[in-house]
């Protein structure tokens, strides 16, 4: 295992979740009727708006809180959020783009070898937890980095978390 030569090991960011606030109340019905590419979930009280250019799905609440998912990098998340705020502005709301914050980043990477999960769990007792009946991956939590890794037996690893 030449672990030293391949430190980065082609890790790919697949999802960036961010939140921001428009400092105004949003009329969900108006957005649902007049906006493009929207799904109105009346029972829960939110509107889903999907953008094409940075491929982003945004959940809009009437309080003005918006959660943006699906971006592949932090800059793209910011672009998409701004574009979304712009489209809301075009619908007539007095949108002010505030409190932009990245909440969660998800990345995948692939190990070139397979992993034996039961032995791995035994050796990493407090951090790793493996429940084959519930989920086929080992859940490894790194508290200091606030990260959670899901390690599959095929060698692919999903990393998720935030670091402020």
Partner 1 sequence: MASTSRLDALPRVTCPNHPDAILVEDYRAGDMICPECGLVVGDRVIDVGSEWRTFSNDKATKDPSRVGDSQNPLLSDGDLSTMIGKGTGAASFDEFGNSKYQNRRTMSSSDRAMMNAFKEITTMADRINLPRNIVDRTNNLFKQVYEQKSLKGRANDAIASACLYIACRQEGVPRTFKEICAVSRISKKEIGRCFKLILKALETSVDLITTGDFMSRFCSNLCLPKQVQMAATHIARKAVELDLVPGRSPISVAEAAIYMASQASAEKRTQKEIGDIAGVADVTIRQSYRLIYPRAPDLFPTDFKFDTPVDKLPQL
142 is a site residue for partner 1 (CB under 8 A): no
Q: Give the sign of the dihedral formed by CA 106, CA 12, CA 157, CA 142.
A: negative
Say if residues 65 and 45 touch (Cβ distance below 8 Å).
Answer: no
Out of 25, 104, 131, 145, the residue judged to bind partner 1 by CB under 8 A: 131
127 is a site residue for partner 1 (CB under 8 A): no
Which region, judged by CB under 8 A, interacts with partner 1, from 8-16, 75-83, 92-100, 146-154?
A: 146-154
- Binders of partner 1 among residues 10 to 29 (CB under 8 A) are none
Give the residue from 106, 105, 114, 103 showing the smallest Cα distance to 151.
Answer: 114
Out of 8, 126, 163, 164, the residue judged to bind partner 1 by CB under 8 A: 126
6 is a site residue for partner 1 (CB under 8 A): no
129 is a site residue for partner 1 (CB under 8 A): yes
- Phi and psi, residue 86, nearest 5°: -65, -40
Residue 47 token pair: 């509107």
Give min distance, CB of 17 to partner 1, in A: 21
Give the E-state strand segments of 33-152 in sequence order: 38-41, 46-51, 56-61, 65-71, 97-110, 128-130, 138-142, 147-151
Residues that bind partner 1 (CB under 8 A): 114, 116-118, 121-122, 125-126, 129-134, 136, 152-154
């Amino acid at each position: 295992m030449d672990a030293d030569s391949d430190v980065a090991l082609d890790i790919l960011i697949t999802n960036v979740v961010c939140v921001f606030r428009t400092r105004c109340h949003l009329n969900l019905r108006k957005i649902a009727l007049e906006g493009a590419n929207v799904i109105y979930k009346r029972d829960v009280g939110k509107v889903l708006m999907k953008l094409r250019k940075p491929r982003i799905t945004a959940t809009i609440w009437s309080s003005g809180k918006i959660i943006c998912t699906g971006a592949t990098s932090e800059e793209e998340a910011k672009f998409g959020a701004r574009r979304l705020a712009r489209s809301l502005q075009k619908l007539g709301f007095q949108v002010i783009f505030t409190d932009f914050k990245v909440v969660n980043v998800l990345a995948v990477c692939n190990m070139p070898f397979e992993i034996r999960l039961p032995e791995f769990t035994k050796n990493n007792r407090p951090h790793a937890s493996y429940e084959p009946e519930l989920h086929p991956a080992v859940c490894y939590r790194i508290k200091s980095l606030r990260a959670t890794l899901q390690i599959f037996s095929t060698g692919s690893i999903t990393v998720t978390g935030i670091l402020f």
